[in-house]
Amino acid sequence: MHDTTLPPHPPLRQALLMWALAAAAYMAGFFLRVTPGVLNVQLMRDFGLDAAQLGNLASSYFYFYAASQIPTGIANDRWGPKALIVFGTCVTGLGTLLFAAAPNLPVALLARGMIGLGHGVAWVSLLEISARWFAPRVFGTMSGLSLSAGTLGAVLAQAPLLAMTRRLGWRPSLALVGLACLALSALAWRVIRNAPHERGWRDWLAPQPPHDAAQVWRGLREVWRWRNTALLFVAPSGICGAFLTFTTLWGTPFLVQQRGFTPAQASWVIAGMLIAFSVGGVFWGRLSDRLRARKLPYGLGAVATVAGFALLTLWPRAPGVVLLTGLLGGALGSGAMVVGFAWAKESVPARLAGTATGVHNTGVMVGALLQLPLLGWVLDALWDGRHVGAVRLYGLFAFQAAFGVLLAWVVVAAVCVALAAETHARPWAEGAR
């Protein structure tokens, strides 16, 4: 029971301060997540890469990110989000500095892996900060705002990064980002607190006792007993994974090589999709909270995502306005994946909420880490031999085949959303499955 002698719950300004620093760490990692798409020509030229190798370089981030998710959820349950945010942002900064200095592909792969590992703790920790410092009734809304903050980093990694690399070069530009991450890590260590009671305010959530090793592994096995865990693991691998694969890497080459966009114009299109994704996260999260429902908003977003990738696959030569509308609509729909985090937490007992969140976010990353190199393999398999310098050029059919893989994945994901059990925005209840 809460100590009634404590002041009320934390004031909004205190909660926002904690959230803002955690969101800044997430934003920095999201910036670095999508840089291969902007720097694809420079990376292929400097490291001598084909499409499959470039896809593997981009996906090495996601391998380490995905591998960190379940341990991150468990560690948040045990130690709280502050330590993970400080550690993760520091590792992200060091990885970025190493990538900026990488002399060859193996070192670049290691550096991207470090960035993925460091950023892998950011999202789950940001959600934990949101859950601990804000009222439970606004968790869906805060999840959407958190996604928006992170997506702002990806937007800054488009035209602004392109302009910076033209002035400074891509290596010095990324080195500056790495130094900024190290400074942010130090600031987070100084300011962030795990929960309101550490600043003298009343907690929103009842404290949970830390688990021993046996409890941790038992919980990890147990979380899969609930049907929604598996369905909500697969769903974001398509709904969000396909969006990440397109915006992280393969969207820019398609727009430049097949639609005649300049690199700067393509970066603005990708930025527009990222903004639409961010807006979608806020919209779907807020709608889900207001309706007290998870399945309907997520399902509507899934349908919009399917429509966007269907247009991209079946009519890639659509008039510019039609294509852009489809891309933005699909991105807006993809933002519905944010509903899945609240849905996953509500689908299991409270003691497993952090673990369920980590499992769910692993599903998000599994899609991208598999799709990025898979699409590169498809493009290389259908390559007709054209190139400009060390950079390969791919035909329209090759891109259609690659995007068809994403379309099929999104359809499967939408079916999983339809099959998941509705929680009506309520915490897990005894007897639920």
For the record, the structure tokens of 120 come out as: 């892998």
Model pLDDT, residue 427: 77
Q: Are 372 and 49 in contact (CB under 8 A)?
A: no
Average pLDDT, the chain: 88
Element (H, E) at 397: helix 396-419
Alpha carbons 414 and 390: distance in angstroms, whole number: 39
For residue 25, give the nearest of 206, 157, 130, 146 by alpha carbon.
Answer: 146
pLDDT in tens, 231-267: 999 999 999 999 999 998 899 999 999 999 998 899 8
Structure tokens that stand for 335 in this block: 């933002």
- Rank 195-204, 298-307, 391-400 by mean pLDDT and report only the highest: 298-307
Token digits for 170? 């891509």
Mean pLDDT, rounded, for 36-47: 89
Q: Is residue 159 part of a domain?
A: yes
346 CB-side CA count, 13 A: 22
Q: Are strands 391-392 and 387-388 parallel, antiparallel or unpaired?
A: antiparallel
pLDDT band of residue 351 (cuts 50, 70, 90) is confident
Lowest mean pLDDT among 50-64, 66-80, 118-132, 240-254: 66-80
pLDDT at 209: 65
Q: CB count, 10 Å around CB of 316?
A: 16
- 203 in a structural domain: no
Q: Who has greater pLDDT, 187 or 218? A: 187
Residues of the chain with pLDDT > 70: what percent?
A: 94
3-state class percentages of the chain: helix first, strand second, coil last, to nearest 5 = 80, 0, 20
Q: What is the pLDDT of residue 217?
A: 75
Q: Residue 179 sits in which domain range?
A: 12-195+213-419
Cα–Cα distance measured from residue 404 to residue 311, given in angstroms and rounded to the nearest whole number: 10
**pLDDT of the residue at 216:** 66
Res. 399 pLDDT band, cuts 50 70 90 = very high
User: What's the pTM value of the predicted model, to 2 decimals?
Assistant: 0.80
CA–CA separation, 209 and 11 (whole Å):
26
Residue 367 covered by a domain: yes
**Residue 431: its pLDDT value, please?**
43
Q: How confident is the model over 290-335, as pLDDT tens digits? A: 899 999 999 999 999 999 999 999 999 999 999 999 999 999 999 9
Report, as an integer, the average pLDDT of 20-34.
Answer: 92
Q: What percent of the chain has pLDDT over 90?
A: 52
Judge whether residue 4 has pLDDT over 80. no
Q: How confident is residue 420, by pLDDT bands cut at 50, 70 and 90?
A: very high
Q: Is residue 5 part of a domain?
A: no
pLDDT of 213 over the 90 cut:
no
For residue 427, count CB atoms less than 10 angstroms from its CB and return exposed for 0-12, middle for 13-18, buried for 19 or more: middle
- Per-residue model confidence (pLDDT) at position 75: 79
Residue with tokens 């689908």: 347
Instruction: Identify the helix (H) or strand (E) that includes residue 387.
Output: strand 387-388
123 vs 269, higher pLDDT: 269
| Whole-number pLDDT of residue 208 | 65
| Residue 135 per-residue DSSP state | -
Whether 267 maps to a domain, the answer reads: yes
Q: What is the pLDDT of residues 95-135, one digit of tens each?
A: 999 999 999 999 999 999 999 999 988 988 998 899 899 98
Question: What's the confidence (pLDDT) of residue 328?
Answer: 96
Q: Is residue 45 part of a domain?
A: yes
The confidence band for 170, taking pLDDT boundaries of 50, 70 and 90, is very high
The number of folded domains in the chain is 1
Q: Token pair for residue 26?
A: 């997430």
Please tell me the distance from the alpha carbon of residue 24 to that of residue 35, in angstroms, as a whole number.
17
pLDDT at 368 over 70: yes
Q: Tell me if 155 is assigned to some domain.
A: yes
Identify whether 35 is part of a domain: yes
Closest CA to 179 of 115, 122, 107, 97: 97
Q: What is the pLDDT of residue 342?
A: 87
Contact predicate 380/188, CB 8 Å: no
pLDDT tens-digit readout, 142-169: 877 887 888 888 888 888 888 899 899 9
Quick check: 1 pLDDT over 70? no
12-33 and 170-191 helices cross at what angle (nearest 10)?
150
**Which of 282, 358, 356, 359 has its CA nearest to residue 84?**
358
Output the pLDDT for position 318.
Answer: 94
Q: What is the CATH number of the domain that holds 137?
A: 1.20.1250.20
Residue 396 has pLDDT above 90, yes or no: yes
- CA distances in angstroms from 51 to 36, 373, 379, 394, listed in the order given: 12, 8, 7, 9
pLDDT score for 5: 59
pLDDT at position 392, please? 81
CA 129 to CA 344: how far, in whole Å? Answer: 17
Q: How many CB atoms lie within 10 A of CB 314?
A: 12
